[in-house]
Amino acid sequence: MGRNEIGAEGLKTAIGLPSAVMLVVGGIVGVGVFVNPAIVARSVHSPALVLGAWACGGVIALLGAFVYAELAARIPHTGGDYAYLREAYGPLPAFLNGWTLLLVVQTGGMAAVTIAFAKYLDVLIGGGVPQSLIVVLSLALLAGVNVLGVSAGNRVQGVLGAIKIGMIVALVLAGVLLVAPAHEAHLPAGQGGAVAGLKAFGAALIPVLFSYGGWQTANFVAGEMKDPRRDLARALVIGVLIVIACYLTVTWACLRALGIGGLARTLTPTADILGLAIGPAGARVAAALVAISALGYLSQSMLTAPRVYFAMARDGLFFRSVGEVSGQSRAPALAILLQAIWAGVLALSGSYEKILSYTVSMNFLFFGLSASAVFVLRARERRLGAAPPGFRAPGHPWTTGAFVLACVLVIGSTFWSYPVESLVGYGILAIGIPPYLYWRRADRRLASGASQS
């Protein structure tokens, strides 16, 4: 397919492999990597367990990348999980995925990151600008860029992603080359034996997996890739490997510079490392690092997730106007604006803080369902004698089954550690059933009227 052609869904195809890799990286790396190593260190009590939690999360993310790479090769359509669930299980689970994405998962994460961006930008500029104004302007600017078209949004995302990776490398080098290693080797072991230790490790995995989440968002824009069957599969694996390397080296640098005790006690590990490396200016450099990373995440979110609401609307399961593309830019402008407005509402209301505690369990419910779709689609392929896709998950069914099992364990661990928040999350999921039934009936009536006319 030629450059910037119009695909079957009316969207412009302008994303190649390098840009797809940056979308994967940008969808994963937000601000969590600069804060969550400290949270993990407070849950477990040795450097080996801290690094083990991040390595374990990386393995789960890589297994997920294998699964989503095969799904992308099988179903190279706009919408990612929404398209896979619709194909394997029908419209209801697909709709509920998009419903939670818009209502809490994507927009709640964006709201939190927008607030973080506003706070760190305030540090950089020396204060004086209301946080609410920064929130509104940043979301409006990114929405405006993406309304101009996928090429404009993709360029901005690529630049921010490259800067983000460069700054992470600089942080690691500063922590290793400019800071003497800390001498504290471990914290006192917790009480309670193996069961308590297992629960602590499970609790440590929750912020880790939250930090690794997002590899699947690049699949949302498959309909705008030049060769999604080939490039998206490669981008998922390459991008996740890059992120694993970044996360492990950042965590190792934090442990080396601060020690396990210092890391567990701090709320700002990045600023602490840079403060030790370059002195008082370290806080401002750390603020710049987090602000750039936050902006890159927001840019990626604004580019990718609206394609899910666009796909829902095209199927008659959402407001039909959200499924329209602008004539000039060929972008789903209304879907982009809808997400930006709702993320802004959550950010300004402060409700995103509670929302974030609901999302991990729901995220992994849909990850597990999407992964199980590989079994359904392979069985259908054998039954119909269809040709296999270009990419097949290595080690299937063991790797795919391991990822599904990991999703089940994460859901169980989340219920174990945060039962009330998990139940509220699934309550939000259930609230989506009445709107689904309404749009489903409305679409059937519309289809019936069209066939009779």
Q: What type of residue sits at position 113?
A: V
Q: What is the 3-state secondary structure (H, E, C) of the chain?
A: CCCCEECCCCCEECECHHHHHHHHHHHHCCCHHHCHHHHHHHHCCCHHHHHHHHHHHHHHHHHHHHHHHHHHHHCCCCCCHHHHHHHHHCHHHHHHHHHHHHHHHHHHHHHHHHHHHHHHHHHHHCCCCCHHHHHHHHHHHHHHHHHCCHHHHHHHHHHHHHHHHHHHHHHHHHHHHCCCCCCCCCCCCCCCHHHHHHHHHHHHHHHHHHHHCCHHHHHHHHHHECCHHHHHHHHHHHHHHHHHHHHHHHHHHHHHHHHHHHHHHCCCHHHHHHHHHHHHHHHHHHHHHHHHHHHHHHHHHHHHCHHHHHHHHHCCCCCHHHHCCCCCCCCCHHHHHHHHHHHHHHHHHCCHHHHHHHHHHHHHHHHHHHHHHHHHHHHHHHHHCCCCCCCCCCCCCHHHHHHHHHHHHHHHHHHHHCHHHHHHHHHHHHHCHHHHHHHHHHHHHHHHHHHHC
Q: Where are the domains of the chain?
A: 5-80+109-350
User: Which pLDDT tens digits describe the chain residue by residue (453 residues)?
Assistant: 344 576 556 777 888 888 889 989 988 888 888 888 888 888 887 899 999 999 999 998 999 999 999 998 888 888 999 999 999 999 999 999 999 999 988 998 898 889 889 888 888 888 788 989 999 999 999 999 999 888 888 888 888 888 888 888 988 998 888 888 877 655 555 555 566 667 778 778 878 887 888 878 888 988 888 888 888 888 999 999 999 999 999 999 999 988 888 888 888 888 888 888 888 888 888 888 888 988 989 999 999 999 999 999 999 999 989 988 887 788 899 999 999 999 999 898 876 666 766 777 788 899 999 999 999 999 998 888 877 777 888 999 999 999 999 889 888 877 877 788 788 888 888 999 999 999 998 877 776 665 555
pTM: 0.86
Architecture of the 5-80+109-350 domain:
Up-down Bundle (1.20)
